[in-house]
Structure 1
Amino acid sequence: MGFSLRESLKFIKIVIPKKEKQITEIIRSLENGDSFSNSVRLFLKEDIYYQILIAEKHGELADSLKTLGVYLNKKHEHRTKLIQLLEYPVILLLFLIVLMLGMKIYIFPELNMWNTATRVHLIKPSTLIILLIWGGISGSVVIFIKKFLQRPVVKRVEIICRIPIVGKVYQNYCHYYLSLNLAMLLKSGLGIKSICTMLTQFSSTSLLYQIGRTLEKQLLQGGQTRLFINRYPFIPPELNVLLNKGNTTEVLGQELDMFSKIKYQKLTNQIEKLIGLIQPLMFLFIGVVIVFMYLSLLLPMYHSMEGVYK
């Protein structure tokens, strides 16, 4: 709207007093000569920081901030909607947990006194087997998470993209994120090799650095970008078609910009569908818990009645 960067930050500090401390630190950093991206780095996730860094270096800061604002606002709406959907099932689940504890403390001991053959509160061989299975599963999960965190970021992202349902959503986010950043770089006039060189200047833990470094190495060895794109699920395969059309870098950047908007719309639709599935799945889980509660109560009573009739 014509405000300078410093005036905009001062205005935000007035409008959002809760963020006054952070905004003051950003303004102080800018006054000390730091770039905007470095000034806000401590308050942002890595992927968002690099998007602002790329935009700042190539004169797309205002448009990039606007795009990020829309994305983060939509993300906040999805989070709020998810919390609202989970409120009732979570309350119901807590009520069931309290009910199960009450049954364990008060009802099962009475059933045990009524039927000495039914040892509800004692540890049975089947209980030990279940505990061992749960222990094995929990241990496997912990080991998997530990090994997963030790892998390079590219491998981690690749694994997440292959997870059923959730992986597709994350894959679309990667497609949107990479195509948007690539669009900004191409519109600024950079070629593929120049982009790779620039990406290798980022933090070695970032996804963009890993992609740039791997692609640069492959190009130096005479490899093709087509093989590189097909190698990873988090890189949109449509890039092969767009890159081989023979357009100038500026036109290609515009096409990728439009492509990123299409991917963003698809990502939003996927998230909304996924959120819509969560509540029915929660109710299904609660229904299964209720069935098992009834069985744990009725089966001992059935065995007791069976003993009386005999």
Structure 2
Amino acid sequence: MKRIKRTWPLKDQAAFLKRLGEMTEKGYSLIEGLRLLKLQLHKRQLAELTDGIRRLREGDSFYQVLEALSFHKEAVSICYFAEKHGELPGAMKQSGELLQRKLMQTNQIKKMLRYPMFLICSVCVMFYILQSLIIPQFSGIYQSMNMNTSGATAFIFAFFQHFHEACALGMSAVLSLFLYVWFLCKKKSPQDKMLIVVKIPLIGKAAVLFNSYFFSLQLSSLLKSGLSIYDSLTAFKEQSFLPFYREEAEMLITRLKAGETIESALSGHPCYEKDLAAAVSHGQANGRLHRELYTYSQFMMERLEQNAEKYTGILQPVIYGVVAGMILLVYMSMLMPMYQMMNQM
């Protein structure tokens, strides 16, 4: 299906899905709900949603319409699995709430970074003024008066003299590293890419928690609808927009056919939390695997939010520390040559 250029910001996607889910829970059909929501959209979104309603009438699934509208892939996948287990209204609300959480965390980080980034830009302007105006003046005075420079003053002069080259070298190194990683990952399978991601500090932990949350939540919903574990994994395997979970399902199905249990297949898996296999084992033992997986998924979401708050709280002091160090360097760059000059006069 041809994808439409994205005109639905994350905020609009979240509100749209949540409202549509609430309306369908109250008894509106999917098309009736979409018709009412059309009244709240601007011209471009209205045209796209009109086309989406046409697609639904022609037999397309709701998740295919969302995919064509370039909705967030996690929201699309939740609706895909919901159409498999028949609980689309609740899934739309769930996907809307998930997008709202993502948006809230993004806005929180932006708000936290706004003032530190202003300070960093201000310090960079000060660095430029020092490098282009003040330090050359000091250097010229030292040379004209044949004064000896101390080691610290000589270092400051050399630092600002080669400041542009150092910045260019640093940016080149970062760009080279990015291109190397990009080319390295380009031909790797989704599973291999995820194995690389989970090894990255901070980001890797968040990826493991989200994988555990998403897999357990969707598997719980499919099992609750009456599907077997094998059929539920087949639903994962048949979707096309989350290649990592598709390959994971293929791997799990292969191991199940070989006689392994699902908990043994998940045990020690680096892309999931270690206690996921224990949750599956406990759920199978008491005959309520779908309930155990749902409860486990909510624990994972809580841990994701706690980790986000924790790392956000750590990031701000680190940025302020960097800014303080830069400001201290600026003052030292101005004061140390002045003090040395005064001592030698």
Which of the five TM-score ranges fits, normalised by the shorter chain? 0.7 to 0.9
Counterpart position of 1:159: 196
Q: Is 2:65 aligned against 1:39?
A: yes
- Are the aligned partners of 1:112 and 1:120 in contact in 2 as well (CA < 8 Å)? no
- Are the aligned partners of 1:204 and 1:210 in contact in 2 as well (CA < 8 Å)? no
Counterpart position of 1:97: 124
The RMSD of aligned alpha carbons is: 2.9
Aligned residue identity for 1:73: Q
Counterpart position of 2:240: 203
Q: Is 2:51 aligned against 1:25?
A: yes
CA distance in 1, matches of 2:316, 2:225: 45
- Are the aligned partners of 1:186 and 1:249 in contact in 2 as well (CA < 8 Å)? no
Residues matched between the structures, number: 307
- Are the aligned partners of 1:37 and 1:49 in contact in 2 as well (CA < 8 Å)? yes
Distance 1:302 1:140, change over 3 A: farther
Q: TM-score, normalised by structure 2?
A: 0.78
Counterpart position of 2:101: 74
Please report how far the alpha carbon of residue 120 of structure 1 lies from its aligned counterpart in structure 2 after TM superposition: 4.7
CA distance in 2, matches of 1:25, 1:197: 30
- Are the aligned partners of 1:199 and 1:212 in contact in 2 as well (CA < 8 Å)? yes
CA distance in 1, matches of 2:51, 2:285: 41
Counterpart position of 1:212: 249
Q: Deviations over 1:85-137 (max 9, x none)?
A: 2221111111111111111221112112111276558866x997897676455
Q: Deviations over 1:56-86 (max 9, x none)?
A: 1210111111111111112212222222222
Flag structure 1 segments of 5+ consecutive residues without an equivalent.
none
Counterpart position of 1:262: 299
Please report how far the alpha carbon of residue 201 of structure 1 lies from its aligned counterpart in structure 2 after TM superposition: 1.9
Counterpart position of 1:229: 266
Mean CA deviation greater in 240-249 or 15-24:
240-249
Counterpart position of 1:55: 82
Distance 1:73 1:135, change over 3 A: closer
Counterpart position of 1:108: 135
CA distance in 1, matches of 2:235, 2:46: 34
Aligned residue identity for 2:33: S
Q: Is 2:290 aligned against 1:253?
A: yes
Please report how far the alpha carbon of residue 250 of structure 1 lies from its aligned counterpart in structure 2 after TM superposition: 7.6
CA distance in 2, matches of 1:179, 1:156: 21
Q: Deviations over 1:134-184 (max 9, x none)?
A: 645542343123213432212222222232223222221111111111101
Mean CA deviation greater in 270-279 or 35-44:
270-279
Q: What SS does the aligned partner of 1:203 have?
A: coil
Q: What SS does the aligned partner of 1:163 have?
A: coil
CA distance in 1, matches of 2:108, 2:167: 36
Counterpart position of 1:6: 31
Q: What SS does the aligned partner of 2:333 have?
A: helix
Distance 1:110 1:245, change over 3 A: closer
Please report how far the alpha carbon of residue 4 of structure 1 lies from its aligned counterpart in structure 2 after TM superposition: 1.3
Report the identity percentage: 25
Q: TM-score, normalised by structure 1?
A: 0.86
Mean CA deviation greater in 67-76 or 291-300:
291-300
Q: Deviations over 1:234-282 (max 9, x none)?
A: 3243332333347499821122122212221221222122222222221
Distance 1:97 1:46, change over 3 A: same
Aligned residue identity for 1:54: F
CA distance in 2, matches of 1:244, 1:183: 14
- Are the aligned partners of 1:114 and 1:304 in contact in 2 as well (CA < 8 Å)? no
CA distance in 2, matches of 1:68, 1:129: 46
Counterpart position of 2:5: none
CA distance in 2, matches of 1:99, 1:122: 12
CA distance in 2, matches of 1:4, 1:168: 40
CA distance in 1, matches of 2:103, 2:192: 28
Distance 1:113 1:247, change over 3 A: closer
